[in-house]
Amino acid sequence: MEYVLVTGGAGYIGSHTVRRLVGAGYSVLVVDDLSSGRGEAVRNASFEKGYIGDAARLEEVFGRYKVSAVMHFAGNIVVSESSTDPLKYYGNNVSGTITLLSAMQKFGVDKMIFSSSAAVYGSPDKTPIEESTAVKPVNPYGRTKAMIETILADCDSAHGLKYVSLRYFNAAGADPSGELGEHHNPETHLIPLILKAVFENRPVSVFGNDYPTPDGTCVRDYVHVNDIADAHILALKYLADGGESNVFNLGGGTGYSVKEVIKAAEKVVGKKIEVKFEDWRPGDPPVLVASYAKAKRMLGWEPKYRNIEEIIQTAYRSKLI
Ligand code: UFG
């Protein structure tokens, strides 16, 4: 039996992708150290607890399972922490990925789908952002993603690794089954923080109301986690069909301001949400909106969730915040 190995498969986007892979008939092996993921989020898949930076453990796992491709989600994701503890990010994200790639090379596994981020673009002036926009990250987190993309390209040149790097914009929502959700500790993302504030009956903090945007709050492109998961499966098929290594944006193509997201959340929860304006969060670009034309053209991918209310609804229903 051939497995798709999913690193970080117990995490938010990883666990949703495992669910979709299993639903599509793939045999899935999750490798996760459970440092931030939750074991109970992994169902109907094989599971090996392990850290991607542990070469001996990885080689032991690759020795026991026949792996056809790797989907690599494992990594640290808190932008602010990456500025205060850069070595954690360069160690786990960059060194960890090098260890993983070395094990793949040793066992002849030549396909990877990598979780990249809009953070590689930093704060571009042009919107919507296309993949040809310069890679100019503005924090260590974004730099780890950009470095890994460079490493992947070098591995392709040197020994034919084929990869797809998916640059996610703002992943949001949850599987409509209500069985999976978004759990980060600490939580830094807007939609779960709005819902948390609603559940706890307190105001939501809004970071900045004097950005150069129509209503003064930051504009982001929210894309449903299951749409992201489906893009991974399409990317896997693209590589299996002989596709060349490539990078793709994953976004919904529509920008919503923080105030608009809160308004939409009010409709979902059916009550007014109090807001507390605070200072800008360091490093937050005013506007990040994707062009997903390339993913549509080359992968046949399009987001199915088009409406921010519908995305928030799935997060609200999951109650797993
Ligand atoms: N925000 C608030 N209040 C909060 C939390 C967030 O106003 O309590 C605002 C932020 O300032 C930002 C927007 O809501 O303008 C979205 O913030 P998130 O933290 O949800 O998401 P980011 O856009 O900061 O982060 C996302 C990804 C990162 C990626 C980054 C690229 O989660 O992985 O985009 O800039 F690095």
> Tens digits of per-residue pLDDT, 207-230?
999 999 999 999 999 999 999 999
pLDDT of 321 above 70: no
Ligand 1 pocket test: which of 182, 258, 262, 279 has the largest number of ligand atoms within 8 Å of its C-beta?
A: 258
pTM: 0.97
Superfamily holding 174-221+253-317: UDP-galactose 4-epimerase, domain 1 (3.90.25.10)
Predicted pLDDT at 319:
66
Q: What is the β-pairing status of strands 222-224 and 27-32? A: unpaired
11 CA → ligand 1 middle, Å: 18
212 CA → ligand 1 middle, Å: 16
Ligand 1 neighbourhood includes 194 CB (under 6 angstroms): no
Ligand 1 neighbourhood includes 256 CB (under 6 angstroms): no
State the Cα–Cα distance between residues 305 and 252, nearest whole angstrom. 8
Predicted pLDDT at 320:
56
CATH number of 2-171+222-250: 3.40.50.720
Ligand 1 neighbourhood includes 207 CB (under 6 angstroms): yes
What sign does the CA torsion over 282, 285, 289, 295 have? negative
The residues spanned by each domain of the chain are 2-171+222-250, 174-221+253-317
Give the pLDDT mean for 133-150.
97
Residue 255 in contact with residue 287, Cβ under 8 Å?
yes
Please classify residue 186 by burial: count the beta carbons closer than 10 Å to its beta carbon, then call 0-12 exposed, 13-18 middle and 19+ buried: exposed
Q: Residue of the nearest CA to atom 16 in ligand 1?
A: 190
pLDDT in tens, 263-305: 999 999 999 999 999 999 988 999 999 999 999 999 999 999 9
Ligand 1 atom with least separation from CA of 204: 8
What distance separates the 2 farthest-apart alpha carbons in the chain? 57
Closest CA to 122 of 134, 107, 104, 105: 134
Residue 168 in contact with residue 115, Cβ under 8 Å?
yes
164 CA → ligand 1 middle, Å: 24
Cα 154–chain centre separation = 23
